[in-house]
Amino acid sequence: MTANPPTTSLRTRSPYRRDSVTGTGCGPPQTTLRDGRTRKFMLYCRISHCAVEQGARVSKRGGGGSARTVDATVVSELRRGDSPRAERMPRGGILDLPRLPAVPSPERRDVRPDLASARSQRLTHRHQGRARRMDALKLLIAIPALNEADAIDAIITRTLAARETIIAQSPIDDIEVTVVSDGSTDETVERASRYVPQVNLIVFPENKGYGAAIKEAWARSDADLLGFLDADGTCDPEFFTVLCSRLVGDAADIALGCRMNERSEMPRTRKLGNTIFATMLTYMSATGVRDVASGMRVVRRSSLPRMLPLPDGLHFTPAMSARAILAGDLRLVEIDMPYKERTGRSKLSIFKDGVRFFRIIAETAFLFRPGRLMWTAASIAALGSLIFVSGPLIYFIRHSVLQDWMIYRCAVAALLGIASVLLVSGGYLATRITDVSIFHRESAGLQGRARRLIRRRSFLLVPVLLVLVSVALGWTGLTEYISSGKVDTHWSRVLAMFTLVTMALILVVLKVLDAGISLVRARMGYLESDAASAVPEVAHAVETADVR
């Protein structure tokens, strides 16, 4: 075995930077060079990047602390010795050094994984804290207050004390508390200001409303989850632990505390009113809900735009509940919560605010579910028509004649029958308009089957048949009127004829309006399509409309 040629150690003091991954030196040694090849030796050491010590890594940093990009092809050629740049470089070494270990090219697979692994570990440690911050959930607790000087200290103290419990027992990582004085004229502001900066304080010089105070607190926060509770001490701030856990665990959009339970100390009058409103909303939406005006809830910020706009008054909470349930694309969860009797005098007026609650629920229901309201009215009208016509009909079956005094009952029955057909048609058209304009979809279920039936050409046979029946009933009267100018036909035939003709006209109008809605939907679909946006004139028109 031949002895290895003498070597010169390169572990000498280097002025070059240390490698960011391995921590080893990255520059040429402090040694005397001969044969006038100093520059080539320095270049070789730069592109090798500690190849003598490690034999695996290629640096992209130049010597002397200056950054330099090295072409990977040049690196490979210099190492193999087959490049014109290395034609005078000894293959056995430089300055009697032994031939350096073979260093794989950076394009090869045995180098990339090591570099990628080291880079991944470095980035993981560097951004671990930042990643945790990105995944963190922040909760805002808004406390609207109007002349709550007697209760504001207690509710703020309880809320601040509950922060540790909420963070420890729920997915929440940070909590922000904001108190909003909604035009208070007592010592509410003075007492709340003692807790600044632990809490944020917003002061309205004039009363803007319960909902306006909550929306202002939400607008000034960057929290992911937006919550609120009343300042009267009726709700326990620690219950946010349950609300936030259920909201995140069930992937819900809204989590609200339900006061309709055995632990609740809610007054009977409010329980009665809340039951009425909850029953209304449940009927309109076909979704069970027990408490529509709960004063403690949590909402995802990302889901809030689908519920806007919301009112500024005390009907803020029933409006939110109604829109969340009736919109159909939001998930709401209710959790029973303890509820105590409030401190101080209530700001809620049973009659005035009750009317507001009823109106906002009805308006929201008519916006998202107009057909249900109109079909309910149509059912009532149809039932009334049957009740009024039942007596004369039974009498006619028994005696084959109608008395003159029955004309009034038959007229009311005819009017209610016409109204029922009109309301059914109007409910269908209103639902189609809502589906096209708000939900951007075609109707499904029973509404969808009705739409397919109306779109058929054979649907026109129904009004034609009604007209033929009315003509048959009044044919005798028509011939008498044409021949003698008088009509001796019984009033019941004339009334039935006018009723059937009116219903036929309603169905014809229904067919025409349904076709018009289909044309509007087709036009809207074209304007929103890629084909329309490719036309410069159409794109400019759409942009102009958006700006307006």
Asked if the peptide bond before residue 370 counts as cis, ω within 30 degrees of 0, the response is no
How far CA 158 is from CA of 161, 231, 235, 276, 309, in Å, comes to 5, 11, 10, 33, 31
Q: How many residues does the chain have?
A: 548
Q: Are residues 210 and 92 in the same domain?
A: no
Show the tokens assigned to 110.
């045995």
pLDDT above 60 for 303: yes
- Look over the chain and give the mean of its residue pLDDT values, rounded to a whole number: 77
pLDDT > 50? residue 55: no
Lowest mean pLDDT among 244-248, 259-263, 457-461, 510-514: 259-263
456 and 337 part of one domain: no
DSSP reduced 3-state for 343 = coil
Asked whether residue 302 is domain-assigned, the answer is yes
Q: Evaluate whether residue 44 is within a structural domain.
A: yes
In a domain, 208, yes or no: yes
Same domain for 279 and 325, yes or no, is yes
CA atoms of 413 and 61, how far apart (whole Å): 95
- Pairing mode, strands 296-300 and 225-229: antiparallel
Q: Please count the structural domains in the chain.
A: 3
Q: What pLDDT shows up at residue 246?
A: 95
**Among the three residues 326, 343, 367, which one is the final residue of a domain in this structure?**
367
**Rounded-to-integer distance, Cα 299 and Cα 320, Å:** 10
Q: What end-to-end distance do the CA atoms of the chain give, in Å?
A: 91
Burial of 97-116, coded b for 16+ CB within 10 Å and e otherwise, reads beeeeebeeeeeeebeeeee
Q: pLDDT tens digits, residue range 74-111?
A: 444 444 444 444 444 444 333 333 444 444 444 433 43
pLDDT band, very low/low/confident/very high, at 21 (cuts 50, 70, 90): very low
Cα 76 to Cα 111: distance, rounded to the nearest angstrom: 13
Q: Could you give the CA distance from residue 428 to residue 513 in angstroms, rounded to a whole number?
A: 11
Are 526 and 477 part of one and the same domain?
yes
Does residue 207 contact residue 164 with C-beta atoms inside 8 Å? no
Q: What DSSP element (H or E) covers 204? A: strand 200-204
3-state secondary structure of 255: strand
Letter for the amino acid at 256? L
Tell me, yes or no, whether 107 and 9 share the same domain: yes
| pLDDT tens digits, one per residue of 455-487 | 898 999 999 999 999 999 888 878 887 888 777
What Cα–Cα distance (Å) separates residue 163 from each residue in 19, 139, 167, 173, 324?
A: 45, 10, 6, 10, 28
The answer as to whether 546 is a domain residue is: no
Residue 294: CA atoms inside 13 Å, Cβ hemisphere, count? 33
Note whether 129 and 148 are same-domain residues: no
Could you tell me where the DSSP H helices lie in 21-169?
38-48, 72-80, 112-135, 152-169
Task: Give the Cα separation of 247 and 244 in Å (integer).
Answer: 5
- Are the CB atoms for 402 and 394 separated by under 8 Å? no
Q: Report if residue 10 sits inside a domain.
A: yes
The parent domain of residue 466 ranges over 371-540
- Contact indicator for 225, 175 with CB cutoff of 8 Å: no
Q: Does the pTM exceed 0.85?
A: no
- Tell me the angle at which helices 350-368 and 316-327 cross, rounded to the nearest 10 degrees: 20
